[in-house]
Amino acid sequence: MTAIHVSEVGPRDGLQSIERVMPLEAKKRWIAAEAAAGVSEIEVGSFVPPTLLPQMADTADLVAFAKTLDGLRVVALVPNAKGAQRAADAGVHAFSLPFSMSETHSKKNLRKDHAQMLEEIAACAEIARNHGIHFEVGLATAFGCTIEGAVPEDQVVRLAEAAIGAGAMEVGLSDTTGYADPAQVRRLVRRVKAAVGDDKLDTLHLHNTRGLGLANVVAGLEEGIITFDASLGGLGGCPFAPGASGNIVTEDLVLMLNSMGHDTGIDLEKLLEVRGILEEALPGEPLYGFTPDAGPMLDYNERTAA
């Protein structure tokens, strides 16, 4: 069996994309239940100004709570060095910063051009080193942008190298707008790995906007990717990318990986029960996924034992 890591990003990427604010206690129940199901890494929130994203105002409280859960790697997103310092002060195990490969998207999302973002990466890297925190840069809109359209692969490779040069410990490829296809995933993973090293790219953040999410996961697996972001119930997307919504559904991803014989360490039956927490706390909020409705295959246990 190959060990594959599923990183739950729903408490951040999912909740930042809906108008309602999920109560803190419900978020804690969600995080605790997923950890109990075997999810070993959760992005619990982001350190952005509460005036911009009130949904994330309780992130420091969630970090403190999540750190009490045995074996859970607690991750947060940061938009800049100020957010990185807040994350470090809260005690996260790791933080990530989104670096849009589309400069137009970067200016709209974080109000900084590429040169300014590289300065922020360098400042975040210093904070991470000083606090012993793992620091990843997510290469957002790496597969295309709903504002600019196609993003040149040469540009993604160049900026990936620049991010590592500025101090990022690793980079991840993010399909922020749901533009990726399997051939593109294979090609870009190969190119970025060749530029920065195999050990500095092992994560894909894929969206299912156009129904290609799981196909793109398989392409990533074939290229040696071992960490995939996903959101329970498919919550989330990017509020700054028009038309982009729908992260990969954690339940569907786990079913597929476990059925393929990979070792996620996640108990699917327990994971499916977590969905009820979202339904109770966010009544009427659309949740996605095929596995919650259809259930696992009759021979699922035999497949996972193979």
* Closest residue by Cα to residue 48 from 72, 28, 77: 77
Write out the two tokens for 266: 């996640």
List the catalytic residue out of 22, 76, 151, 238.
238
Exposed, middle or buried: residue 181 (CB in 10 Å: 0-12, 13-18, 19+)?
middle
SS3 237: strand
The one-letter amino acid code at 92 reads V
42, 58 contact by CB (below 8 A): no
What does DSSP assign to residue 5? E
Examine the residue annotation and report whether 238 is marked as an active-site residue of this protein.
yes
CA-atom Rg of the chain in angstroms? 18
Tokens 């739950």, located at residue: 8
Query: Would you tell me how many other CB atoms lie within 10 Å of the CB of residue 98?
Result: 24
Return the sign of the alpha-carbon dihedral for residues 209, 213, 215, 220.
positive
Write out the two tokens for 239: 């509020």
Distance of CA 210 to the CA centre of its chain: 18
Write out the two tokens for 281: 């706390």
Query: Would you tell me how many other CB atoms lie within 10 Å of the CB of residue 199?
Result: 9
Measured between alpha carbons, how far is 232 from 252 in angstroms, rounded to an integer? Answer: 9
SS3 content of the chain, % helix, strand, coil (to 5): 50, 15, 35
Q: How far is CA 107 from CA 113, 177, 241, in A?
A: 6, 16, 12
**To the nearest 10°, the Cα dihedral for 264, 270, 274, 275?**
90
Active site residues: 238
